[in-house]
Amino acid sequence: MTNYPKIFKDCPWGRIQYDCDASNNIIKEEQINNRNEFVEEFSIVRQKVLPEKHLKKLQKQGWRHAEGHIDGEMCCLLDHIECYYTGVKTKKHVLIYSPYRARGDTSVVETFNKYGFNEYKPLYADNATTFVRVFDAN
């Protein structure tokens, strides 16, 4: 699917079967192109588990309990979590979340911004907004 199948092979998105002739694919050409650009923009070399120290930093900020109202109902924002490593040259971890139904919801964007995440191109699905945060690996 992407130009980088080894990077995405272990994430849930990378295990979805894609048929370029099917109209009902969760994965669209847009997400494939966006993932190629994501790898190139952030110099991603592999998928990696987010180190515990970064997770603890987020949890101290209250991230574990981050929820938002989407269409009038509570929704956990910690959906479609992926973490990547940029390699020894830049030594960064890139954490992404792609919650469903968040697109265009300013309260969700504000919640992610509060925790240092920026809205990014959709990497998971048409109806999921992707948010990115970069951590120093040290």
Would you list the DSSP string of 25-78? -SS-HHHHHHHHHHHHHHT--EE-PPPHHHHHHHHHTTGGG-EEEETTEEEE--
CA 33/CA 26 separation, integer angstroms: 14
Could you tell me the pLDDT band of residue 110, with boundaries at 50, 70 and 90?
Answer: confident
- Pull the structure tokens for residue 136: 């120093």
At residue 105, does pLDDT exceed 80? no
CA 101/CA 107 separation, integer angstroms: 12
Domain coordinates in residue numbering, the chain: 5-136
Mean pLDDT of all residues belonging to the chain: 77
pLDDT: which is higher, 40 or 124: 40
What is the reported pTM? 0.79
At residue 69, does pLDDT exceed 50? no
Instruction: Please answer whether residues 62 and 78 qualify as being in contact, where contact means their C-beta atoms are separated by less than 8 angstroms.
Output: no
At residue 136, does pLDDT exceed 60? yes
Could you tell me the pLDDT band of residue 70, with boundaries at 50, 70 and 90?
Answer: very low
Region 130-138: mean pLDDT is: 86
Q: Which of 53-62, 99-108, 122-131 has the highest mean pLDDT?
A: 122-131
CA 30/CA 127 separation, integer angstroms: 12
Q: What is the pLDDT of residue 79?
A: 63
